[in-house]
Structure 1
Amino acid sequence: MDEKVALPSMWQAFTKEGREQEEGVASIAENLKLLEAELEGKKFLGGEEIGIPDFALGWLVNLVPVFEEILGLKIVDEERHPSLSEWSRRISDIPVIEESWPPRDKLVTKWAAIRDHFLATARASSG
């Protein structure tokens, strides 16, 4: 599920521009429908208790808002993804997880620099 939901489409949306980025965002939207359906009626991916699938996808909770800020677009919203939004809040509210995340401002700075590097490299190789 992690590979399907996150890796290729999220990376494409984050490191590309124009049409390629739009394709990545469209792919993310389709993949998030799968995750939303999987979470419907459950607290966590495995049911009532947090488990390995939640930890495998837990990075979404922390990084998606960072990517949204950098890209200036909304990837996960409560209207389209009510179960995913609630799951994200549950994950975020677990003290040991919340205390382990790096400061958001540092994540934004780091990931913005990574994106800038990829975009600059792509522009240099195409021009």
Structure 2
Amino acid sequence: MRQALTNEGKEQEEGLASIAENLKLLEAELEGNKFFGGEEIGIVDFALGWLVNVMPVFEEILAVKILDEERHPSLSEWIRRISDIPVIEESWPPRDKLVAKWTAIRHRYLAAARAN
């Protein structure tokens, strides 16, 4: 995701392609399960839970749809399931702050790349 966020042009497209491939792998791992470990939430779900909050922010900043329900039905359902867990939802930073943070990071990387 970092490659897509911090680059433009060909490098960004390569980053988006890499994300698409990784999402396919995650989709396959979830197929038929509620969580990555099966029926109960586990460490892998927590380790990947940041996707739930950050993916829509990256989509907004990059103006692309990365994850959609048609291509990723199991992952989309997992996102809804994770989002409904109160302790997780209550722990997320506000969306507007995430957008501002990641937009600033993107601009800083792009400015540095243009300066070189």
TM over 0.5: yes
Residue 117 of structure 1 corresponds to which residue in structure 2? 108
Residue type of the alignment partner of 2:6: T
Q: What's the counterpart of residue 7 of structure 1?
A: none
User: TM-score under structure 1 normalisation?
Assistant: 0.90
| Identity within the alignment, % | 82
Mapped to 2, the partners of 1:123 and 1:26 lie a distance apart of 23
Q: Deviation of residue 100 (structure 1)? A: 0.6
Unaligned runs of 5+ in 2: none
Does 1:11 find its partner at 2:18? no
**RMSD, matched Cα:** 0.5
Q: Which residue, 61, 80, 100 being the options, matches 1:70? A: 61
Runs of 4+ in 1 over 4 A off after TM superposition: none
Q: Deviation of residue 66 (structure 1)?
A: 0.3
Q: How does 1:60-99 map to 2 (within 5 A)?
A: 60-99=51-90
Identify which of 30, 43, 51 aligns with 2:42. Answer: 51
What letter matches 1:86 in structure 2? E
2:26 alignment counterpart: 35
Higher relative contact order (CA 8 A, sep 6+): 2
CA distance in 1, matches of 2:23, 2:44: 15
Q: Does 1:21 align with 2:12?
A: yes
Q: Which runs of 5+ in 1 are unaligned?
A: 1-9
Q: Within 2, Cα distance between the matches of 1:89 and 1:112?
A: 25
Q: How many residues align?
A: 116
Using the TM superposition, give the Cα deviation of residue 31 of structure 1 relative to its aligned residue in structure 2, in angstroms. Answer: 1.1
